[in-house]
Structure 1
C-alpha cells in the first residue's frame, strides 16, 4: 500500500492508495467523512452496501462516495482498487458535476482513465521534486474523463427517467402550490440534488422550480380574482403567499396589474 498527500488552493487534501484484498470475512467499512472518495476497480469485484442499497462494483468501474457517506465492501476473490480521497473546493465541483447524492457508479473503461490512474500510482513510487503538482494534474485529468463518461452514459441512460421525475415534480407543485414549499425540501422529497433539480427543471420549463411555483400561484390568483368575489387578502393566503404586500408586488411584476385593478378590468 502506498500513499501520498497533495495540498493546493483547489485540492486541500488528496490521498492515493493502491489496495488489494483477497477475501474479507468481515465487511470492509469505508467512511468518507468530509471527503469525496473515488474507488477505481482494477480487477475483481466487490459487493457494496451504501445509501441503503446493495450493488456490485466490478473491474473498470468507478465508485464515487459523497462526503459523509458510509459504505461496506465484501470481497470474495482477489480484488484490487485504487482509492483517491479529495476534499476542499473540489468537493462542491464534483458533487455538482456528477450529481452525487450518497454514491454513484460510473463505467470508467475509457483507456485514458486507466492511463492516468496508472501514472498517478507510478508517480508515488518515483517521488521527487514536483511530484505533488504532477499528481494534482493527473487527478484533474481523471476527473475530466470521468465527467465525459458520465455525460455519455449515465446521463443518456437516465434522461427519460429524469424527465419523468421533473414532470412528477411539476404535478406535485400544481397539487401543493398553497403550501410553504422550499427548494431544499423539494429536492429532499424527490431525492435529487437541488443543483441538478434547478438545471433539469429550467431545461424542461424555462423556469427554476420556485419560479414555476410562483407562476402557478399567480395563475390561480388570476382565476380567483375573475371568477370569485373573495377578498384579496383571502386569495393571497389561498394561493400560498404569506403577506398581501408581497403577493401584490409579485402579481404586478408578472401581470402588469395590481390585484384589484386586474379584478376590475377582467371580472
Structure 2
C-alpha cells in the first residue's frame, strides 16, 4: 500500500494565555504565519519575538514551541506538508529554492508581500474545507506559489531577522548547546546547574521561561530525535540505541519514545526504513 501525501492548513484564533504543549518536532515541513497578536517562538536553539505579518519556515525534525508574549490574544495560520506532497515538483522546489537547503528561519515580509501571502493562505483554507474535484493538485499549485514567494523574499532580504538576545537568553543558549553536546551522558539537574555556576532551581526557572520546555523535556526530545536517526540509519539493536542516547534502561527508553512519537521504537524503524 503506497503512502498518502500529507498536507494540512488550519487557522486558529486564541484568547487568553496559550503555550504550545503538543509534539514539538515532526517529519513534516511547517509554515507558521502570525495574523494577529504577538508570540515568542523557540526554534533551532534560539528564541524569536514574532509580530503581526511574520512568517516562520520550520524544517523537518527541528524542535520548536510557541509561548505567550505581550497581549494574550493571537491568531495564526499553520501549514504542514511532507516531501511526498510536493514530490512532483521536488526537483524544482527542494533542489533549487534556498528554503530547503539549511536551517529554519524567520521572514518579516513587507505589507505588500503580506497581502499576497495572506491571499494564498486563505485560498488554501477554502480549498481544504471545500474538498472539491482535483483538490490535491490545486493545493500543490498554491503551495508552490507560496514557496516561490518565500524564496524570493529570502533572496531579496539576505539579512535574517535575529533571535532575541538578552543576558538570560544567552545563558540559556549556552545551556542548550551543552545539552545538545552531552545528551548521551548521565545528566542531572544539579550537575548541569553546577557546570553553569547557578542553582538547580534557577536553571529550571530560566530554561522553562525562555524555551517553554522543562530541562528534562528538552533532554528527552534531543535523545529521541537522535534515536530516530539511529533507528533509520543503522542496524543497531534497540538496547544499544537506548544506551547510546543516554537512557538508563530499555523500559525508560521505550516509554519516552512512545510518549513523544506515538509509536514504539520497532514500529518507527519498520515504518521508516527503506524497503
Structure showing greater radius of gyration is 1
Of structures 1 and 2, the one with the larger relative CO (CA 8 A, separation 6+) is 2
TM-score of the superposed pair, with normalisation by structure 1 = 0.49
* Richer in strand (by share): 1
